[in-house]
A and B are shown apart, each in its own frame.
Chain A
Amino acid sequence: MHCKELESVLEAEGLAQLSKDARLHLATCGACQGYVADLNTIITAAKTLPTEVNPPDRIWISLRAQLEAEGLIKEPVEVAERFSWWEGFGAWLKPRTLAAATVAAFVLATAIYVTRVPRNNPPEAAKNQPRVETLSPAQTQAGVSVQPSSVPPANSGPSPAPVPSKNNKELAPSPSESASFTLDQAELDVPNMQLAGNSQVDIALRQNLRTLNAFIAECELHLKQNPQDELAREYLNTAYQQKADLLAAMMEGGRGDN
């Protein structure tokens, strides 16, 4: 038997069952011995590779928050589920083909987000909101400086808070509410997490999470009463994104220790 023939035999039948001729050739041929040794090394290394590599948790958090913020997915995950939402979400998307499709969806969602024209037409529910007295653009332009003491904010002062219209109540959870819910679910595990094991980092992360939560609560409260306030919505969306990044950093640090 020649080297080429042995190579063909190995390709067809593997290393397990070699014929007598093949074994005789192998015993006397240094090149083929080296070839078989290489094959054995590759097989051994392949066995040590994990069958499936899960993407990090932060991918799922960012992905879900982004999709929900865009209103592409709306169904909240059951709170009573045994596993946290991203584990379930991760398990659902485990096959690589689905993961690739999800990444494509994420890119599409991002593209929509980036290119979307600001909403010029407020929803019917928003149109039904009672008007709240505020400073007009003409008033603003006329003044040298604008102080809040002279003009109370829309949701403060003696005026009654705007009452949500019936249409508002019938609306499905808004993308913001879904994003908020998703982030709150992700945050549930944070108190039990060891984080980075580095006190300076841990303190900074927790302090900034509190800062974000307070700001988010302030914006959400205002938007519940005034859902068409674009400035508040802009700040709220940014805060959601920052919170998603912060939680991802916390989980990454925690996982590094485990």
Chain B
Amino acid sequence: MLFAASTAIAASPEHQERHFAVQGHPVVVLQNVVNGRIEVKSWKNSEVVVSSTAAKDKVAIDMEQVGDRIDIAATSTVAAGQPHEVEANFQLTVPEHTELQLKTQTGLIYVEQVTGDMKLESIAGDVHLKEVSGYIIVKTTGGSLVCTLCSGKLEFTSVSGNAQLLQPSFTNVNLMTTSGNILYDGDFLRTGIYTMKSGKGLVEVRFSGNDSFDLQAKTYSGTVDNQAAQFMQPEQHTSRHGNKFTRVLNRTIGMGFAKVEISTYSGTIRILKRD
């Protein structure tokens, strides 16, 4: 079944709302190439509601539904060559199981209580996730990620953005930032693999007394500040040593079920145990 509805609203009113009925797990693709915020929340209904607020006569918002996929695009209608500091803000209400692909320039991306794979991209805007689950890919240039009570798998890459994972339940985490900081404050699941890298920033890990993982922390010219040495033993499972350039700290916490690899080129690695 193919149902398509398309609107191009160059001279749109400031607020617009569209409803899209869906049957299964919808895929929502939103590309916002002007400034503005994207907020996504879930509900029990099989319907996607898109509310947008855009500067009148300066932003064109296109929406199209093809089956369970909903494509939304916001573009500037300001003449080429002119500065376009225009804004379009979106509020999406989606079924709990929804796949998201959101891209924006500067505004915040906020997603709450959505389960499904998601790819979230931003240049300067931050990404805040709360109670989100799935295979999550976040890519920013300067924007930071704050992830609270999230689960599944997470990949984060950024040039200068920070990443904060608070009370996470991820089975697989891969974080990389060139100059930003990383904070992981939560448990490591038994079969999980966690990789955290920062070129020049601080990577801080706060684990709990119940955690069980093998830790490798390595740096070239940075600092490894291990404030939980009394809870660790020399690593017992593998012999992952450094070379003559890299300083490596290998430790086992508990039985060493999970695998945690932390590295920084010239920043700081800090390891703490939560009270």
Partners in one complex: yes
- Distance in angstroms between the alpha carbons of A148 and B179 in the assembled complex: 19
A8-27 contacts to B (CB < 8 Å) = none
Rounded to whole Å, the gap between the CB of A19 and the closest CB of chain B is 42
Q: A154-B244, A242-B157 are in contact. Are A148 and B106 (CB under 8 A)?
A: no
* Residues in chain A near residue B141, CB distance under 8 A: 204-205, 208, 246, 249
Pick from B1-9, B108-116, B204-212, B223-231 the stretch touching chain A: B223-231
Q: How far is the CA of A194 from the CA of B142 in the complex (A)?
A: 19
Whether B229 lies near A201 (C-beta < 8 A) is: no
From the candidates B106, B157, B227, B229, name the one contacting A200 in the complex (CB within 8 A).
B106
Once the chains bind, are B225 and A231 in contact (CB under 8 Å)?
A: no
With an 8 A cutoff between CB atoms, is A82 at the interface?
Answer: no
Determine whether A32 belongs to the interface, using a CB cutoff of 8 Å to chain B: no
Q: Is there an interface contact between A145 and B224, defined as CB atoms closer than 8 Å?
A: yes
Q: How far apart are B34's CB and chain A's nearest CB, in angstroms?
A: 7
Given the complex, which residues of B lie within 8 Å of A194, measured CB to CB? 81
8 Å CB contact of A212 from B81, B178, B235: B178
Q: Which residues of A contact B266 (CB under 8 A)?
A: 218
Contact of A235 among B33, B35, B78, B265 (CB under 8 A): B265
Q: How many A-B residue pairs have CB under 8 A?
A: 140
Assess whether B242 is in contact with A137, with CB atoms less than 8 Å apart.
yes
Q: Is B189 an interface residue (CB 8 A)?
A: no
| A199 in the interface (beta carbon within 8 A) | yes
Query: Across the interface, do B160 and A211 meet the contact criterion of CB distance under 8 Å?
Result: yes
Contacts of B179 in A (CB 8 A): 211, 215
Knowing A137-B248, A204-B142, A256-B33 are in contact, say whether A229-B220 is a contact too (CB < 8 A): yes
Quick check: is A141 within 8 A (CB to CB) of the other chain? Answer: yes
Taking a contact as CB atoms under 8 Å apart, the answer to whether A144 and B226 are in contact is: yes
Query: Would you call B46 an interface residue if the criterion is a C-beta within 8 Å of the partner chain's C-beta atoms?
Result: no
Count of A residues near B, CB < 8 Å?
A: 49
B249 touching A146, Cβ below 8 Å: yes
What is the size, in residues, of chain B's interface with A at 8 Å between Cβ atoms?
Answer: 52
Q: Does B105 contact A (CB under 8 A)?
A: yes
Bound CA span A228–B106, Å:
39
Interface contact B220-A200, CB-CB below 8 Å: no
| A146 and chain B: residue at smallest CB distance | B224
Answer whether A258 and B106 are a contact pair too, CB < 8 Å, given A146-B247, A198-B34, A246-B141: no
- In whole angstroms, how far apart are the Cα atoms of A131 and B123 in the complex? 43
Of A145, A151, A207, chain B has the most CB atoms within 10 Å of the CB of: A145
A215: chain B residues at CB < 8 Å are: 178-179, 199-200, 265
Of all chain B residues, the one with the shortest Cβ separation from A243 is B159
Q: Please measure, in the bound complex, the distance between the C-alpha atom of A148 and the C-alpha atom of B223, giving whole angstroms.
A: 6
A215 to B159, alpha carbons, bound, how many Å?
10
The answer to whether A230 and B80 have CB atoms under 8 Å apart is no
Contact assessment for A204 and B244 in the assembled complex, using a CB-CB cutoff below 8 Å: no
Q: Which of B178-231 contact A (CB under 8 A)?
A: 178-179, 197, 199-200, 218-227, 229
Report B246-262 residues with CB < 8 Å from chain A CB: 246-250
Instruction: Identify the interface centre among B35, B176, B242: most chain A CB within 10 Å of its CB.
Output: B242
Structural contact, A141 and B229, CB atoms closer than 8 A? no
The contact string, 1 if C-beta is below 8 Å from chain B, for chain A 178-210, is 000000000000000010111111011101100
A70→B263 CA distance, assembly (Å):
24
Residue of B33, B159, B243 with most chain A CB atoms under a 10 A cut-off:
B159
Kindly name the residue among A132, A222, A230, A231 whose own CB sees the greatest number of chain B CB atoms within 10 A.
A231
Hey, what's the 0/1 contact readout for B21-46 against A, CB within 8 Å counting as 1?
Answer: 00000000000011100000000000
Q: Once the chains bind, are B243 and A229 in contact (CB under 8 Å)?
A: yes
Query: Chain B contacts of A144 at CB under 8 A?
Result: 226, 229
Asked if A232 CB lies within 8 Å of chain B CBs, one says yes
In the complex, are the beta carbons of A147 and B223 less than 8 A apart? yes
Q: Which residues of A contact B178 (CB under 8 A)?
A: 211-212, 215, 238-239, 242
Interface flag for B234 (CB, 8 Å): yes
Instruction: Closest B residue to A242 by CB, please name it.
Output: B159
At the interface, yes or no: A48 with Cβ under 8 Å from chain B?
no
Would you call B220 and A232 a contact (CB within 8 A)? Answer: yes
Complex contacts, B160 vs chain A, CB 8 Å: 207-208, 211
Complex Cα spacing A256 to B141, Å: 19
Interchain CB contact under 8 A, B124 and A200 = yes
B33 touches A232 (CB 8 A): no
The smallest beta-carbon distance between B224 and chain A, in angstroms, is: 4
Contact B81 A257 (CB under 8 A): yes
Stretch from B61-69, B82-90, B92-100, B148-156 contacting the other chain: B82-90
Going nearest first, the 6 A-B pairs with the smallest beta carbon separation are A204-B124, A153-B221, A144-B229, A137-B241, A229-B245, A208-B159
- With A204-B124, A256-B33 already in contact, 4 other A-B pairs whose C-beta atoms are closer than 8 Å: A197-B78, A198-B106, A204-B123, A207-B142
CB pairs A–B below 8 angstroms (15 shown): A141-B250, A145-B224, A146-B226, A148-B222, A154-B245, A199-B83, A200-B124, A201-B123, A208-B141, A215-B199, A219-B265, A229-B220, A238-B178, A242-B157, A246-B159
